[in-house]
Amino acid sequence: MTDDDNLLTLAEACERVLGGKVKVASLRAEVGRGNLTIFRVGRKDFTTVRHVREMIDRCRVGRPPQDSTLIENGEHGPSETDRVSSAQAALSQTLEELKKRSGPILDSSTSRSGGRRH
């Protein structure tokens, strides 16, 4: 095991790797965002120097967006953005087709003047 793989508590990682400039709560937040890998033994959370360095790379501002995500079987698939864009395009197309089929709506049927009709 290299020094980069030795287990450190999150507090030790804050002090030794990040020079005391980051709090444990910030590391926990990055765990929640999926940027930092930790190991839980009992009630203690540990990480490694290597994982902290990987977190720093993931958190780098201005990095290019990820093109694809790794899916369960280990293959690369489309990113969530691609899926959302595709779904939005399909919805827009469906709405346009429905608009064409419904025809114009008469003004008298949409009038708000007068009382309610039953």
pLDDT tens for the chain, residues 1 to 118: 778 889 999 999 999 999 999 999 999 999 999 999 999 999 999 999 999 999 999 998 886 666 655 555 555 555 566 667 777 777 777 777 777 776 666 666 555 665 555 6
Q: Tokens 């804050």 correspond to what residue?
A: 14
With respect to residue 97, please indicate whether it lies within any of the assigned structural domains.
no
pLDDT of residue 94: 76
Bridge-based pairing of strands 68-70 and 76-78 is antiparallel
With respect to residue 29, please indicate whether it lies within any of the assigned structural domains.
yes
With respect to residue 109, please indicate whether it lies within any of the assigned structural domains.
no
Burial of 15 per CB tally in 10 Å (0-12, 13-18, 19+): middle
With respect to residue 21, please indicate whether it lies within any of the assigned structural domains.
yes
List the domain range (segments joined by +) for residue 54.
3-58
pLDDT of residue 41: 93
Question: How many domains are contained in the chain?
Answer: 1
CA distances from 117 to 44, 90, 101, 112 (A): 68, 37, 26, 11
With respect to residue 43, please indicate whether it lies within any of the assigned structural domains.
yes
pLDDT of residue 92: 76
pLDDT of residue 107: 60
Bridge partners, residue 47, by sequence: 8
With respect to residue 25, please indicate whether it lies within any of the assigned structural domains.
yes
With respect to residue 10, please indicate whether it lies within any of the assigned structural domains.
yes
pLDDT of residue 3: 84
Count other Cβ atoms within 10 Å, centred on residue 47: 23
With respect to residue 106, please indicate whether it lies within any of the assigned structural domains.
no
CA dihedral 56, 60, 65, 71 (to 10 degrees): 10
Q: What is the distance between the alpha carbons of residues 105 and 110, in angstroms, rounded to a whole number?
A: 8
Residue 8: how many CA atoms within 13 Å on its side-chain side? 22
